[in-house]
Structure 1
């Protein structure tokens, strides 16, 4: 495997040792738990319920994540402006980084800062380009002060916005993981084919390039071999754990005529439960992605700790959570353990 484009780093060392797992999905998981509001999806939970953020970090590490990613997704100036809470920008970012740093130091995991799509970027409007770069600079600056091992720039549909994020990270002299987000066709919003987009990111200094979010395992996996073949840096793949297909390549497009929430018939984002991948489907994806040459693996919106454990076990690992991996031989109805009562063994055979 090629060495990283930047200076030697803890991330680089980990990637030389083997695949790195990065658990994401904090927005969806904390929304499910009742600590974050769907819609704006701003992570005010960092300030309002910091213990819940810490616990989720710990659960993901327990399940096998090599990375603790500070929960600064959608914690940028534009998102906080939209909800009228600009004054929370710096304290929210600094607290998220502090929580993540404490968990990373305690577990030995890598510490990552995070920046993401601005929902403001317009490639034909230089003013928005300057605004977005300034937003990235301030978040990366706080991450650098917190001593992160690297910064993740993710969920970009525009290559040019991803390059702005990369430039901000490189200016801070930090390693960068940059991932693009595809909704429909496998091209950027500028209509650039994915392998070419990956080459441009790698040439600009990204240490890891790849894809995250929107596409599930079934519709992300076919894209990965071409990306691995296009660049000499490690490739990342972090799908959403939902059953997307050729007719519905992203989870925003998944349809259910019986879904009565908003919008009717389109269960994204709060009615996706029937489409959730099992832990076994996640394991299948992990093995296939590794075989394709992917070195940085994870899951995005919708991931739970059980998914991350399955990913780790598919790579041959035994994280602490593997102590509790299912042992169906002891199940009261379906088990085969001789210690089970004979009547129940017979009942199980009859089912």
Structure 2
């Protein structure tokens, strides 16, 4: 911690922790610096690896001194939003406040629970089959913002265009578009100039928001069974 303090960093982050007890220890140590401390856990709506519910995890972290609490990695965006909502509810019930933070995977992992994406048969070298589209990210950013989350980002699997999609979805709230938006038309507007007429009809928000993307793999299962030996 001393080396970071010599650089006068803005704040500390405790992240990728799946046992709240460990996260609390880290927060307590880092809080002695006098800096702002954020603590994000890689847990599901079911709680941490010891079964501690997300709401209780958040309460313990804030009582330990965390200024920011939330979720990072291990699960897909909308699952992570659900978990942060539970954390927020726990804090409200306890009469506590903290800023909320979220940095989910850039992959679809709806069948994962306690083990997260590391328990999937595709992990780690075939996760591309579960990649999230920029339109999924628009939905995620809106869901997160509506949930009261203000630190909205991404973790493993996120690409630059995903981060741009977050900024574009929240442009009205932020008051401006990101510089990268100058490179393309919003919601496929550039397709209006496409040579194929059926492609030109896709140059609007309704098309992309209601699209159900296909996998392109004839025998691909809709979901995969997570391994039962996680943590062994």
TM-score tier (shorter): 0.7 to 0.9
Aligned residue-pair number: 184
Normalised TM-score (structure 2)? 0.74
Q: 2:162 aligns with which of 307, 330, 339?
A: 307
Normalised TM-score (structure 1)? 0.50
C-alpha deviation, 1:234, in angstroms: 1.1
1:235 is matched with 100
Where 1:143 maps in the other structure, the secondary structure is: helix
Q: Residues 201 and 209 of structure 1 are in contact (CA less than 8 Å); yes or no, is this contact kept in structure 2?
A: yes
The 5 A counterparts of 1:155-170 are 155-170=16-31
Between 1 and 2, higher relative CO (CA 8 Å, sep ≥ 6) is seen in 1
How far apart are the structure 2 equivalents of 1:176 and 1:225? 20
How far apart are the structure 2 equivalents of 1:214 and 1:294? 18
Q: Residues 218 and 243 of structure 1 are in contact (CA less than 8 Å); yes or no, is this contact kept in structure 2?
A: no
How far apart are the structure 1 equivalents of 2:45 and 2:87? 15
How far apart are the structure 2 equivalents of 1:331 and 1:227? 46
1:172 aligns with 2:37: no
C-alpha deviation, 1:313, in angstroms: 0.9
Where 1:154 maps in the other structure, the secondary structure is: strand
1:332 is matched with 195
The 5 A counterparts of 1:96-245 are 140-182=1-43, 186-231=46-91, 232-245=97-110
Where 1:155 maps in the other structure, the secondary structure is: strand
Q: 1:320 aligns with which of 163, 168, 179?
A: 179
C-alpha deviation, 1:271, in angstroms: 1.2
The 5 A counterparts of 1:240-319 are 240-245=105-110, 247-249=111-113, 250-254=116-120, 266-316=121-171, 317-319=176-178
Q: Residues 75 and 112 of structure 2 are in contact (CA less than 8 Å); yes or no, is this contact kept in structure 1?
A: no
Q: Residues 45 and 86 of structure 2 are in contact (CA less than 8 Å); yes or no, is this contact kept in structure 1?
A: no
Q: Residues 228 and 234 of structure 1 are in contact (CA less than 8 Å); yes or no, is this contact kept in structure 2?
A: no
Question: Stretches of 4+ moved more than 3 A in 1?
Answer: none
Where 1:293 maps in the other structure, the secondary structure is: coil
How far apart are the structure 2 equivalents of 1:311 and 1:302? 15
Unaligned ranges ≥5, structure 1: 1-139, 255-265, 337-351
Unaligned ranges ≥5, structure 2: 92-96, 202-232
C-alpha deviation, 1:185, in angstroms: 6.0
How far apart are the structure 1 equivalents of 2:30 and 2:41? 16
How far apart are the structure 1 equivalents of 2:105 and 2:26? 22
